[in-house]
Structure 1
Amino acid sequence: MSAAAHVGHGLGLEPVTADWPALQQADVEQVLAYFPQLLGASSIDWHSPRPFAAAARVVSAQGAFFIKRHHRRVREANWLLEEHRFVEHLAERGAAVVKPLRGSTGSTVLSLGDWTYEVLPAAPGHDLYRDALSWTPFLSTGHAHSAGQALAALHRAAEGFEAPRRATPVLLANLHLFAQHDPLAAISGAVRAQPALADYLAAQDWQRTLQELHLPFHRELLPRLAQQQALWTHNDWHASNLLWRDDSATAEVASVLDFGLSDRTFALFDLATALERNGVPWLELDHGGRAAADLDGVDALLAGYASVRPLSRDDLLTLVALLPVLHVDFALSEIAYFHGIVGSRASADVAYHAFLVGHTEWFRRAEGVRLLDHLRALARQRA
């Protein structure tokens, strides 16, 4: 597969030209020179369609492994090490993750020119959602239930990891800006510090939009945030980031992948993200659909989670308050990435209009209200 032919997942239903050129065999051989435990004949047998980095599955006499390449403007070595230290903590606590491999330099990260590389062993399990787009539902309620259990187990394993929030400036999912008492002032500060974000937002009436659309939800959320205990979390809990023990409708999670958006947030932020990623078919909105929430999948995910970490009435009401705005920080991060690093105004427009604005607007329409009312009804059952 040539760089020119490489396509990936974009922000809609159709495949797009990937942001970054595909890994080539020469790239693999250059990286493996620093990993003597993997030296020998090898070949690429699959290129990941996921955005933000180039990744490939490589097969050799030593077995299968993955090489992932990031541009240094997206992930410098120290920024990637933040993620790796979290994964290593999880592995030591028995979580279903695989630790990145260490090279001859002694590090799990390799910097070569403009690129930052990581190498990971193939995780156990069936990749049932390998081609699934984000914001598409689980194939079964059995998968949703097991995903909820696995997320709760991951949160238990994450306890005790006390690193500060990440220094990585782009492509993180958290609630740092929108958790502030004055989120518009916090976002204005971020805009001043990020020229690309400032340049893009200069053409948008973003302050009035957030004030009218987002701040009413923020006022409901803010009093609940003081009750949340800080925790490092996954922040991209989608079925495609999970491997499964078999290919049945009742398969359990075997492995957890891709901690690229992980950061110090709190457990309910991660759980709300899982509900948003898997419970709402957002991409239907691109074609005039209603994006009806998968309430059976939502119930199964919550039931699986609560079987490991019980959920109180207040927890469910916090999820209600979180869901309409949990994406704000990540949407702004995507805008900075697309406009400032990739140079795609069109993708930045999608991140702003369809993601930052469109997702919150959905929660004011019939289907979003239906989902929030459903969660409120579950909360009343725990009263």
Structure 2
Amino acid sequence: MTSDNSPLLSHGMGLEPVAPSWPALRLDEVVRLLQRYPQVGAVQGLSWHSPRPFSSACTVDTASGPVFVKRLLQAIRSVEELMEEHRFMAHLQQRGLAASEVLHAADGASAIADDGWTYEVHRIGAGVDLYRDATSWTPFLKPQHAAAAGTALAHMHSAARGYDAPARSAQLLVSGFTIFNADDPLTRMQQYIAQRPALADYLAQRPWRDDVQRVLMPFHARLQPLLNGLTPLWTHNDWHASNLLWHTKAPSAAAEVTTILDFGLADRTCAVYDIANAIERNIIEWLALPSHPSSQRQLVHIDQLDAMLDAYEAVTPLSPQEAAALPALLPLAHVEFALSELAYFHGVLGSADNSALAYDTYLLGHAEWFHSDAGQYLLEHLRQRYAHLMNKEP
């Protein structure tokens, strides 16, 4: 067996890598875990450690082929909370979608609790992990990849129809569309905060009601009349190139998505919410914006946006209501994950710096950016793109 090769750094909240928040998986730990999975066979070594920040994960070489082991603090995901993801993934697989395959232990469990941690094991999916070291908010390598991602997202939404599980119970590091999918978001947000004591503790020191009223509510005013046209749907909510595996015949050839990874943010939202998240995560280089105050339009990848949306709509055209909702929803798509992330940084990590960054730069700053020249450029492009559909609204 090879020895551990633990990473020294992981992805942080900015462009620079940081020390990981959680210890790397150890070889003896993985061996002990995989004894519960006899179908895997003998462990031969750990070949790669993920730099993702909220968990510890690695690729494990075994007698039956490589598997992916992920470990989270139980306060972040309980066994039942992980199984909410796994049941959705199983539904997608039953509908023919190439979602990551979760392995079951000898007792039938798809998630294991041990010593304060929760573990899951996945078979390595088909395809190449082209973006495995890419941080969030980095663009596709080329428009062809954006198109492939759009096609795959549309197929995932088609496969998700008929899955009618209720919204998730998980409270940390999840996305969702419950606050602004309402006529009274301030009341919904108050309820959301009250259910998360760490979030309530942090926000007690911030003028959050005034900030929400000033920054977020104007966007909701445009979205609210369109809410009835958005059909509930279980969605991925973290549709970034690094959560996809790829097949390419040659460097210059068109790509296709072969496997969909990481359903950690999946929940019951709607298709337009998932599309908005895909735009927010892939099309805008958020981390590079501060370094380009006068030329931010070049960090909004309109060519990739159109490629992704064209490919999506070739499979599933947007309704007039969905088309009108997309530019209205986009500035709000990040809100619930930002709040959830804030609860994590304050309540689990106890990081004052990251908590402030999550509140000022992510929760408020990302929404405020849509009032900038580059933000308006993006929203206006979407409005013009769908003007012909909006004119068909009753």
| TM-score normalised by the chain length of structure 2 | 0.94
In structure 2, the partner of 1:13 is 15
Deviations 1:303-330 (A, max 9, x none): 0100100124432221100011111111
In structure 2, which of residues 321, 326, 344 is the aligned counterpart of residue 314 of structure 1? 321
Secondary structure of the equivalent of 1:320?
Answer: helix
Native 8 Å contact 1:128 1:244 kept in 2:
yes
CA distance in 2, matches of 1:244, 1:340: 36
2:376 counterpart (349, 369, 376): 369
- Picking from 109, 112, 115, the partner of 1:110 is 112
Matching residue of 2:264? 260
* Contact 1:6 1:21 (8 Å CA) reproduced: no
1:149/1:305 contact within 8 Å kept:
yes
Residues 6 and 22, structure 1, Cα contact 8 Å, conserved in 2: no
Letter in 2 for 1:339: H
**Secondary structure of residue in 2 paired with 1:117:** strand
Structure 2 CA distance for aligned equivalents of residues 37 and 148 of structure 1: 35
1:301 aligned to 2:303? no
CA contact (8 A) 2:229 2:322 kept: no
* Residue of structure 2 in register with 1:350 after alignment: 357
Give 1:98 shift: 2.5
Q: Which amino acid aligns with 1:206?
A: W
Gaps of 5+ in 1: none
Name the counterpart of 1:222: 224
C-alpha contact (below 8 Å) 1:174/1:264 kept by paired residues: yes
How big is each residue's C-alpha offset from its partner over 1:308-362, in whole Å with a ceiling of 9 and x where there is no partner? Answer: 0012443222110001111111110000011001211111111111110110011
User: Superposition pairs for residues 182-193 of structure 1, below 5 Å?
Assistant: 182-193=184-195
Contact 1:237–1:270 under 8 Å retained in 2? yes
Residue 324 in structure 1 maps to residue 331 in structure 2:
yes
**Corresponding position: 1:248 with 2:258:** no
Say which is worse superposed, 187-196 or 223-232, in terms of deviation. Answer: 187-196
Deviation digits for residues 264-302 of structure 1, max 9, x if unmatched?
A: 001110011111111100011343542631110110010
Comparing 317-326 with 305-314, which one deviates more in the overlay? 305-314
What does residue 378 of structure 1 align with? 385
Matches within 5 A, 1:65-104: 65-104=67-106
How many residues end up aligned between the 2 structures? 382
User: Is 2:346 aligned against 1:339?
Assistant: yes
3-state secondary structure, aligned to 1:46: strand
- What secondary structure does 1:21 align onto? coil
Measured after TM superposition, the shift of residue 97 of structure 1 is 1.2
- Aligned partners of 2:219 and 2:332 also within 8 Å: yes
Between the aligned partners of 1:185 and 1:248, the Cα distance in structure 2 is 51
- Give the 3-state SS of the residue equivalent to 2:259 in structure 1: strand
Matched residue type, 2:174: L
Distance 2:136 2:268 in 1: 22
Deviation, 1:2, is: 6.7
* Residue-by-residue CA offset, 1:172-212 (whole Å, 9 max, x unaligned): 11111222222122222222232211121122111111101
Task: Tell me the equivalent position of 2:140.
Answer: 138
**Structure 2 counterpart of 1:253, one-letter code:** V
Decide whether the 8 Å contact of 1:280 with 1:294 is kept in 2.
yes
State the secondary structure of the residue aligned to 1:43.
strand
Q: Distance in 1 between matches of 2:355 and 2:180?
A: 20
User: Percent of aligned pairs with the same residue?
Assistant: 45
How far apart are the structure 2 equivalents of 1:288 and 1:345? 27
- Contact 1:135/1:279 (8 A) holds in 2: yes
Q: 1:122 aligns with which of 109, 121, 124?
A: 124
Q: CA deviation at 1:226?
A: 1.4
1:202-213 matches, cutoff 5 A: 202-213=204-215
**Residues of 2 paired with 1:271 and 1:41: CA distance?**
39
Separation in 2 of the partners of 1:131 and 1:163? 33
DSSP-derived class of the 1:374 partner: helix
- Aligned partners of 2:189 and 2:230: how far apart in 1? 22
How far apart, in 2, do the equivalents of 1:293 and 1:317 lie?
20
Please give the per-residue CA displacement for 1:60-108, whole angstroms capped at 9, x wherever unaligned: 2211110000110000000000000000000010001132001012111
How far the C-alpha of 1:27 sits from its partner, in A, is 1.1
Q: Report SS of the residue matched to 1:315.
A: helix
SS in 2 for 1:156: helix
CA positional deviation for 1:237: 0.2
- Paired amino acid for 2:105: G
CA distance in 1, matches of 2:5, 2:141: 32
Q: Counterpart of 1:136 in 2: which secondary structure? A: coil
Tell me whether 310-319 or 73-82 shows the greater mean CA deviation.
Answer: 310-319
Letter in 1 for 2:230: Q
Question: Which has the higher mean CA deviation after the structures are superposed, 206-215 or 291-300?
Answer: 291-300
| Cα separation, 2, equivalents of 1:75 and 1:214 | 29
Q: Whole-Å Cα distance in 2 between the matches of residues 188 and 34 of structure 1?
A: 43
Does the CA-based 8 Å contact 2:229-2:321 persist in structure 1?
A: no
In structure 2, stretches of 5+ residues that fail to align are none
Bigger mean CA deviation after superposition, 373-382 or 325-334: 373-382
SS in 1 for 2:18: strand
Question: What secondary structure is seen at the aligned counterpart in 1 of 2:10?
Answer: strand
Distance (Å, rounded) in 2 between the aligned partners of 1:259 and 1:228: 22
